[in-house]
Amino acid sequence: MLLKGKLYIIILESCVNMYEFLFLFLMFMIYSIIGWIMETVGMSVYNKHFTLRGFLIGPYCPVYGIGAVTMILFLRRYLDDPITLFFMAIILTSFVEYMTSLLMEKIFNARWWDYSNRKFNINGRICLINSIGFGILGLLLLYVIEPFTFELLHKIPQNILMIVSSLLLIIFVIDVIISFNLVFKIKNNTRFINKDNTEEITKKVRVALSKHTHLTKRILKAFPKIKWLDTNISIANFKQALEKLELENKQKKLKWKTKKTAKKNKQKKQELKKQAKDLKRKKL
């Protein structure tokens, strides 16, 4: 009986820990989505056309979610001192952004963003103007957004929250796997295309490019300046080849439609001539 009681306590503790983890993950997802909205709106205004942002397929930027949850966990102790909180938010979010840039560079051997042309940057990974912006967002998060979000999530029944959060976790993991595979695929094809630097797209290149979908185009639009550091090849080469293939396909479709229309017109003319001949015969 004692052993059974201990087992129940272990199960109960694991359930509590699982709820806490899923609660934090749901908060991570909420702030990742808010970050994605901010990034998409900001870049759309800057580019003067709609630009989807984010490395992943879904509408979320994990770096914002990580930054927000990290601030909630470690900076709440500074709530009584807004100035200290502001500077701690700058330090913490800058660290998260720097480490995210470094980690993604190590995984993909590519630089995803570069602030080298901005003043007061560190290795092009973080810059002062962005860090100040994140400091202000940290104050807004901890004084306004987080208390509201926390209360709202606590009103959701535990079982429903765990189910929703678990489903989102599965979707997120699948998204990460697909996105990672997609980027490695783009990288390999960029190298392949760079070797084939003839003006005409060869059969092998055409086959490689035809396997890419609208998901590839979304990555290219979101990060048009990615450069593979091991080969110093820009993703622009891949983008140009993909655009060239799309243009070829459009021209082929247009040519086929033109031929089809001409054939239909020819058939109509022949039918009209035949009808005219039949009318003449009837009159005679």
Per-residue pLDDT of 140-162, as tens digits, reads 999 999 999 999 998 999 999 99
Long-range contacts of 71-77 (CB under 8 A, 24+ apart): 71/138, 71/141, 71/142, 72/27, 72/141, 72/142, 72/146, 75/138, 75/142, 76/142
First to last CA, the chain: 112
**Average of per-residue pLDDT values in the chain:** 78
Judge whether residue 105 has pLDDT over 60.
yes
DSSP 201: P
41 falls within a domain? yes
Give start and end residues of each alpha helix (H) in 155-225: 158-195, 203-210, 214-222
Which residue segment(s) compose the domain that 50 sits in? 20-246
Number of neighbours of residue 63 by Cβ within 10 angstroms: 20
Contacts of 233 (CB under 8 A, 6+ apart): 190, 191, 194, 227
Most confident of 71-75, 106-110, 225-229, 272-276: 71-75
149 within domain boundaries? yes
Domains in the chain, number:
1
* Choice between 102 and 209, residue whose per-residue pLDDT is larger: 102
Confidence of residue 256 (pLDDT cuts 50, 70, 90): confident
Q: Confirm whether 258 is domain-assigned.
A: no
Domain assignment of residue 221, yes or no: yes
For residue 260, the SS3 value is: helix
Asked if residue 203 belongs to a domain, the reply is yes
Give pLDDT, residue 168.
Answer: 95
Whether residue 282 lies inside any domain: the answer is no
Residue 83 has pLDDT above 80, yes or no: yes
Q: Is residue 257 part of a domain?
A: no
**Please, which pLDDT band fits residue 201 given cuts at 50, 70 and 90?**
very low
Q: Is a pLDDT exceeding 80 seen at residue 196? A: no
Most confident of 2-6, 130-134, 179-183: 130-134
Indicate whether 194 belongs to any domain: yes
- The position carrying tokens 């595979």 is 181
* pLDDT above 70 (res 232): no
Model confidence, pTM: 0.72
